[in-house]
Structure 1
Amino acid sequence: MTKRRSLTTPALLSFSLFALAACEGTTSYSSFTGEAGALVAGGDFGNATMNNTLVQNGDREFVIDLAQRFAKEVPTTINFAFNSAQIDAQAAEVLRAQAHWIRQFPEVRFKVFGHTDAVGSNNYNFSLGKRRANAVVNFLVSQGISRGRLQAVVSRGETQPLIVTQNRERRNRRTVTEVTGFVRDNPLVLDGKYAQIVYRDYVESAVVPETLTGLENSVTTGE
């Protein structure tokens, strides 16, 4: 009878070390190189919790991120006709998009800055810039935004033109909506709801890899 040779403990150890060494540097998924579920999530586990902890500890200024995201995802500026604070149809469409974004972040404050072109006196243009900013605030309030979150309405008048000219310039006749910060005087808003906000963004940002397209169908149909 032929005896089968069994691997001794040192042999098993050597084989295991060889297998682990072979996995180093590989970009393919395996049980040796990634955590459970890495094939689906791409190694993003824990990001929401880490982000929440950093903000709560003050290690990350989330206001800056929100300001950049707001400016990226919706138009922040609307324009006005000459010597007018009336919101036209194009401006109203932009403000509705702003309001939709703002409603998703009930813990965030905003400012509206009013601007004019250089035609007219400084005092008049300062007042006109304020009227334009007020018009935007009133419109956002009509879209369900709390006036208390639009805490400051600021007029820059003609002091910050986009186009430097003494003539009429529509691009200078504008308002700009910006993220101001969190409602910091009420820590319960941040502490009690921030985890929900992070989780909401985490779920919305989930993307199914293309390699899994159709996989759920094959599972349900038994293919």
Structure 2
Amino acid sequence: MRAPLALLTLAAAVALTGCSPRQIADFNRPAGASLDDGDFGNATMSNALVHTGSRAMAINLNRRFAAEVDSTINFAFDSAQLDGEARAKLDAQAAWIAQYPYVKFRVYGHTDLVGSAAYNKALGLRRARAAVNHLVSRGISRSRLEAVASYGETQPLVVTEGRERRNRRTVTEVWGFLEPKRLIHDGKYMQRTYGLYLESAQEPHNED
């Protein structure tokens, strides 16, 4: 009788709260788990980054990165080879990344929905590593780049069972800062920041 009683208790809890079992599980997750990548301790690390302001800085910088360069490149079907367009976009990414020597980046690989989940996850990771290798060839330190995550076929931009080029992609994102954090605001970083400040002051403004 214990198993049916447990099921009735869960059903009653769902009915009273108006939540699904999935929502109940999410409610009981540790604070910061929404920023977790699945590795042990990342929830705690994310909390520390949020409270120290490091995560907010990374988020703001990532928004600037995505606004100023194309953070996404695409691939041919069942391929991790970089074509001319992809290399040109990565070159632009490398030039932007070089301006911020203490910022770390992650490259996430994706595939379309053709093929098995296991094969696609491996293919996505190969694509991410290809992008990282090209950035390294353009002078970016490998210590600042990670190709550790592949979403395989789980996050399509276009939901279709067929071939879709827009789903076959890598996305480069700001991840954090190199240690020690106190070196972030050195002379080169502040010189670049000051340059951006001067450029913004010269933009036309509406006086109405």
Which region of structure 1 is more displaced relative to structure 2, 187-196 or 95-104?
Answer: 187-196
Q: 1:171 to 1:203 in 2, by over 3 A?
A: same
Q: CA deviation at 1:174?
A: 0.5
1:132 alignment counterpart: 127
| Superposition RMSD in Å | 2.2
Conserved 8 A contact 2:54-2:176: no
1:106 aligns with 2:101: yes
Measured against aligned partners, the alpha-carbon deviations of 1:17-67 in whole angstroms (never above 9, x if no partner) come to: xxxxxxxxxxxxxxxxxxxxxxxxxxxxxxxxxxxxxxxx84993222211
- Give the partner amino acid of 1:186: P
Per the normalisation by structure 1, the TM-score is 0.63
Q: Cα distance, 1:182 vs. partner?
A: 1.8
What is the aligned partner in structure 1 of residue 139 from structure 2? 144
Are 2:184 and 1:190 equivalent residues in the alignment?
yes
Q: Give 2:89's aligned residue.
A: 94
CA, structure 1 residues 132+192, in 2 after alignment: closer, same or farther (shift >3 Å)?
A: same
Unmatched 5+ stretches in structure 1: 1-56, 211-223
* Separation in 1, partners of 2:180, 2:54: 19
Aligned pairs for 1:29-40 within 5 A = none
After the TM superposition, list the runs of 4 or more consecutive aligned residues in structure 1 that deviate by more than 6 angstroms.
Answer: none
Residues 60 and 196 of structure 1: CA distance in aligned 2, closer, same or farther (over 3 Å): farther
Query: What is the aligned length?
Result: 153
Once the 2 structures are TM-superposed, how far is the Cα of residue 154 of structure 1 from its aligned partner?
1.3
- 2:197 matches 1:202: yes
- Secondary structure class of the residue paired with 1:138: helix
Query: Percent identity between the aligned chains?
Result: 59
Name the aligned partner's letter for residue 195 of structure 2. Answer: R
Q: Deviations over 1:42-95 (max 9, x none)?
A: xxxxxxxxxxxxxxx849932222111111111111110000000000111111
Quote the offset at 1:208 in angstroms: 7.4
In the TM superposition, what is the alpha-carbon distance from 1:187 to its structure 2 partner? 2.3
* Counterpart position of 1:219: none
Q: State the TM-score, normalized to the length of structure 2.
A: 0.67
Q: Which residue type is aligned with residue 62 of structure 2? A: A
Q: What SS class does the counterpart of residue 78 from structure 1 fall into?
A: strand
Partner of 2:114: 119
